[in-house]
Amino acid sequence: MKRKIKPEVEKGLKICFKIANILKENYPNEIFALKENSIVPFTSSKRLCNSVSFSGYAHFHHIKPHRVCCKQKFLIGGDNWHSEYEFGRQKRGSGYYVIGILGYVLLMTHELAHHRTKGHGTKWYSKCNKFQDFMINQLISGKYYS
Ligand SMILES: [Zn+2]
Ligand SMILES: [Zn+2]
């Protein structure tokens, strides 16, 4: 049976997939193989995710099949609280609220950088920054929209 997804959630999912596909194209070895259920809305259904709940807006499944689960409140509009990281943890006072395309980009690059890079240490940080810079450049140059 096909999942029933609200149109506004579906719209957000499409944006997440677009970002993931652009990154996959440019960093083929650093992004996991993307499939239909690689990015999913978090629901109470246990089929795609065993978590009962989680804090934040999304999480990455380190165990195969790799997957990014996103809270529906994020998928609708890209709203999320973004923080800078330093020494493996959130940098105090660096947080800000992001919405729209930048919200999607900042959260997806964060989660996708977790592939083979657990935690928020220096390896993850440099990969995440690389993805973010690349995606923000795609937005500024207009390539994202072409
Ligand atoms: Zn999950
Ligand atoms: Zn993280």
Answer whether 88's CB lies under 8 Å from 80's CB: no
pLDDT for the residue numbered 57: 97
- Say what the pTM is: 0.95
Distance of CA 142 from the midpoint of ligand 1 (Å): 32
| Average pLDDT, integer, range 83-103 | 93
Lookup result for tokens 């609220």: 97
Beta strands in 62-121 (DSSP E): 67-70, 80-82, 85-86, 89-90, 96-98
67 Cα to the center of ligand 1, angstroms: 7
CA distance 89 to 134: 23
How far, in Å, is the centroid of ligand 2 from the Cα of 1? 32
Q: Which helix (H) or strand (E) holds 126?
A: helix 122-141
- DSSP type of residue 121: S
Give domain limits for the chain. Answer: 7-141
CA dist 112 and 43 (Å) reads: 20
Q: Which of 27, 54, 18 is nearest to 113 (CA)?
A: 27
What distance in angstroms lies between residue 46's CA and the mean position of ligand 1's atoms? 9
> Percentage of the chain surpassing pLDDT 90?
88
What pLDDT is recorded for position 87? 85
Rounded to the nearest whole angstrom, what is the distance from the C-alpha of residue 82 to the centroid of ligand 2?
11
Give per-residue pLDDT as tens, 114-134.
Answer: 999 999 999 999 999 999 999
